[in-house]
């Protein structure tokens, strides 16, 4: 469920792929259906979406399933979700029974989060959770060890968020996690901080579903970030994706603007919808009011936030504009996230001086430790070892 990136060499948005769009639309349909009556007009919109997804002729899909049995679960995602809602095409059932039965081909080797997806989809068909298979895949997923917050990639972040989605079936099931939930939550907060600093609303929306899907209360950062995404979405009418360029948008003829929004931001807006659906299903409220009081060990003085932002000049992103307008109490609570942002940027720039200053600042003011601060201290220790090697190599003889 990663978002579309600009096409290299053109600067234009990536083309949409119909199969991918249909699969993600089916996921949103199933996620939002339980809360359809809580939002005016949503039930009607979902009914239109369901009708569109159900209208496909099964003949072509049946042929593809027969020719590619090893990826049959992937190909059947839409009918599986429709079937779970009681909207499935029963003409496909005998073929799917055969494909997913005892003669099922497992297909290509997959990374752990994709193995979780296969377990999840098989469970949708059978109606039974495969606990042993899920536990095995979880133990090999990025949820089983600390995330690399200083050098981890966007794809690494998506692997984390997808593992949460598949393992919990969009928050419908509680699962035995391979690590203490507090450690996973700390990773989610750091991934969220890096995404916000980079202006990546797509990753931010996905990682935010960690809290409702694992049944966790919002932390100050998660709550503030949810309120921020809601503000951006409301002001734009959609949630801008990584490829959205307001300058390009304003320069396009009016008939082409909708296409630019669709190509760059449909996925980000869709995963924001998944976040809101999971939040509403868990009866958790995404409002800025919930950050008024600090969480345990999070409250720090305004001078800490000011000092961190002095080391970390605000970027021209919606997050930094929003952050600077928040009351001091809110900004104080987000100081640890600012430290993570500073450490990530220092690593990217290979600026060990800023890294050391950031760590000293966090320690001086008693900020709680985090995965990013621990990893930064290890990086500095190893940098000293590298420097010693260089000195030894430079000594003659």
- Measured distance CA(312)–CA(354) in Å, rounded: 9
In a domain, 369, yes or no: yes
374 assigned to some structural domain: yes
- 372 in any annotated domain: yes
For residue 122 the two structure tokens come to: 């098989």
Domain count along the chain: 1
pLDDT of residue 342: 92
List per-residue pLDDT tens for the chain, 397 residues long. Answer: 665 444 333 456 678 889 999 999 999 999 999 999 999 999 999 999 999 999 877 899 999 999 999 999 999 999 999 999 999 899 999 999 999 988 889 999 999 999 999 999 999 999 887 888 999 999 999 999 999 999 999 999 999 999 999 999 999 999 999 999 999 999 999 999 999 999 999 999 999 999 999 999 999 999 999 999 999 999 999 999 999 999 999 999 988 999 999 999 999 999 999 999 999 988 654 444 444 344 444 445 466 777 777 887 878 889 999 998 988 888 888 989 999 999 999 999 999 999 999 999 899 888 889 999 999 999 999 998 887 777 655 556 5
Q: Nearest to residue 377, comparing CAs of 364, 358, 349, 350?
A: 358
Which residues, other chains included, contact 135 with Cβ-Cβ below 8 Å and sequence gap of 6+? 176, 178
Containing structural domain, residue 363: 306-394
Do the domain assignments include residue 310?
A: yes
Residue 319 lies in a domain: yes
Does residue 367 belong to any structural domain of this protein? yes
In a domain, 361, yes or no: yes
Does the residue 179 lie in any domain? no
Q: Are 203 and 268 in contact (CB under 8 A)?
A: no
């Amino acid at each position: 469920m990663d978002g579309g990136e600009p096409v290299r060499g053109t600067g234009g948005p990536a083309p949409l792929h119909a199969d991918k769009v249909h699969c993600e639309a089916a996921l949103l349909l199933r996620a939002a259906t339980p809360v359809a009556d809580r939002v005016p007009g949503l039930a009607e919109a979902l009914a239109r979406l369901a009708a569109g997804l159900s209208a496909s002729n099964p003949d072509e899909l049946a042929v593809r399933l027969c020719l590619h049995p090893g990826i049959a679960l992937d190909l059947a995602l839409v009918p599986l979700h429709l079937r779970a809602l009681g909207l499935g095409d029963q003409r496909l059932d005998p073929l799917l029974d055969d494909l997913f039965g005892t003669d099922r081909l497992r297909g290509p080797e997959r990374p752990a989060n994709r193995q979780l997806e296969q377990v999840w989809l098989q469970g949708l068909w059978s109606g039974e959770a495969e606990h042993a298979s899920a536990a095995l895949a979880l133990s090999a997923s990025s949820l089983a060890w600390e995330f690399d917050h200083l050098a981890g990639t966007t794809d690494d972040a998506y692997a984390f968020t997808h593992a949460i989605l598949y393992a919990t079936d969009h928050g419908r099931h509680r699962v035995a996690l391979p690590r203490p939930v507090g450690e996973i939550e700390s990773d989610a907060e750091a991934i969220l901080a890096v995404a916000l600093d980079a202006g990546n609303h797509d990753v931010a929306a996905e990682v935010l579903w960690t809290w409702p899907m694992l049944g966790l209360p919002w932390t100050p950062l998660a709550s503030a970030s949810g309120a921020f995404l809601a503000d951006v979405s409301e002001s734009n009418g959609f949630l801008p994706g990584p490829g959205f360029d307001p300058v390009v948008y304003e320069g396009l003829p009016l008939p082409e603007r909708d296409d630019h929004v669709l190509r760059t931001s449909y996925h980000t807006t869709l995963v924001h919808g998944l976040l809101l659906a999971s939040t509403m299903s868990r009866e958790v409220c995404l409002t800025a009011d919930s950050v008024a009081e600090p969480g345990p060990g999070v409250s720090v003085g305004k001078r800490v936030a000011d000092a961190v932002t002095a080391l970390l000049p605000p970027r021209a992103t919606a997050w930094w504009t929003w952050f600077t307008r928040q009351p001091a109490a809110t900004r104080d609570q987000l100081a640890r996230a600012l430290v993570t942002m500073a450490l990530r940027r220092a690593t990217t720039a290979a600026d060990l001086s800023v890294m050391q200053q950031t760590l000293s600042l966090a320690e001086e003011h008693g900020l709680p430790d985090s995965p990013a601060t621990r990893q930064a201290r290890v990086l500095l220790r190893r940098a000293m070892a590298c420097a010693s090697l260089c000195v030894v190599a430079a000594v003659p003889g």
